[in-house]
Amino acid sequence: MNLKSVPFEALDQLERFHWLVYVRPRFPLGGDVERYERDGFKRLIAGEYRRISVEGQKYHEAPNFCEVRLRLFVLEKLEGGACPYCTRLMGLANFGLVYDTSPGRAFSHCFQLANLVCCCGCCAKAKGSLSGGEWLDIQAALKAADPNAAHEMKVALCAGRAVVVRRMAGRGSSPGGAARE
Ligand SMILES: [Zn+2]
């Protein structure tokens, strides 16, 4: 494997701790797989941070956090494991970042860490510009009607959104766009 890897020591001390807590039970430390995941994670968050910053510029707002803080935020949420919307398991290969209140639906403070939610890749794609509360309500209503149909609809929503996100790629549309599954 030819990797220009981020040295473990180069990580911020707190980040190193959270990375260890998350990764140790999953990958052999210092191995190729772990380095590959670490670099991929850094690249993914760098992309998300750029996307959020660019979108913030449209609203004349800058994020109130830095890239390292965003990585810490995600690692902390991944340690918790469960998607806050659907309780599905999240992981390095299955998470996305969305706004609780989407820019355009609020006057300000959208680009603050408190307005960001780390959720599973499927919810990240399907939620769109709904608020977190609205997305929870819709899922609850669907589940009450028919749990199987609810799951099918969510998967269909994800698939549809993924197509839209691919079309809009590069235009800084939504932080949900980089979710991996
Ligand atoms: Zn979810």
68, 12 Cβ separation under 8 angstroms:
yes
Q: What is the rounded average pLDDT of the residues 35-53?
A: 95
**What is d(CA 97, CA 116) in angstroms, rounded to the nearest whole number?**
7
What's the confidence (pLDDT) of residue 10? 84
The alpha carbon of 66 is separated from its chain's Cα centroid by a whole number of angstroms, namely: 15
Residue 170, pLDDT > 60, answer no
What's the confidence (pLDDT) of residue 1? 46
The model's pLDDT over 113-166, given as tens digits with 9 standing for 90+, comes to 999 999 999 999 889 889 999 999 988 888 888 878 777 887 888 777 767 666
Helix (H, G, I), strand (E, B) or coil at 80: helix
Q: How far is the CA of 160 from the centre of ligand 1 (A)?
A: 16
Q: How far is the CA of 154 from the centre of ligand 1 (A)?
A: 9
Domain ranges of the chain: 8-178
Question: Cα(first)–Cα(last) distance of the chain, in Å?
Answer: 23
Task: Give residues whose Cβ lies within 5 Å of ion ligand 1.
Answer: 83, 85-86, 88, 119-120, 123
The model's pLDDT over 52-88, given as tens digits with 9 standing for 90+, comes to 999 999 999 999 999 999 999 999 999 988 999 999 8
- Higher-confidence residue of 169 and 104: namely 104
pTM exceeding 0.85: no
What's the confidence (pLDDT) of residue 141? 87
Q: What is the rounded average pLDDT of the residues 26-45?
A: 92
In the predicted model, what is the mean pLDDT of the chain?
Answer: 85
